[in-house]
Amino acid sequence: MDNFLDTRDGNTYEIIQIDTDWWFRENLRYETALSYCPNFNKKKDCKMGNFYTYQELDELCPNGWHVSKLSEWEAYFELMKTKKQVQEQHIQYETIVPRTDIMVTDTTKQLQLFDANNPLNLSARGWVQGKRRQKIGTITLWASNPELEDARFHLHIGPNSYVKHTHAHHIDDKRQKKRKFTVRCVKN
Residue 97 is predicted with a pLDDT of 67
pLDDT per residue as tens digits for the range 86-112 = 999 999 999 986 666 899 999 999 999
**Average pLDDT over the chain, rounded to whole?**
90
Instruction: Give the mean model confidence (pLDDT) for residues 41-65.
Output: 86
In the predicted structure, residue 71 carries a pLDDT above the cut 70: yes
d(CA 177, CA 144): 22
- Structural domain count of the chain: 1
Q: How far apart are CA 174 and CA 165, in angstroms?
A: 20
Predicted local confidence at residue 130, as pLDDT: 83
- Taking alpha carbons only, the member of 46, 188, 18, 27 closest to residue 119 is 18
How many CA atoms are closer than 13 Å to the CA of 94, on its beta-carbon side? 12
With a cut of 80, say whether residue 173 has pLDDT above it.
no
Q: What is the pLDDT of residue 183?
A: 98
pLDDT at 55 over 60: yes
Residues 21-50 pLDDT 10s: 999 999 999 999 999 987 655 556 688 899
pLDDT at 131: 79
Find out whether 25 and 186 touch, Cβ atoms under 8 Å. Answer: no
Helices (H), 42-159: 70-83
* Long-range contact set of residues 108-111: C-beta below 8 Å, sequence gap at least 24: 109/159, 109/160, 110/84, 110/85, 110/86, 110/160, 111/80, 111/81, 111/84, 111/86, 111/159, 111/160, 111/161
pTM, two decimal places = 0.92
Residue 169 confidence (pLDDT): 81
> What residues make up the domain containing 173?
2-187
- Give the Cβ contact number of residue 101 at 10 Å: 15
Q: For residue 86, what pLDDT is reported? A: 95
Max intra-chain CA distance, the chain? 47
Q: What percent of the chain has pLDDT over 90?
A: 71
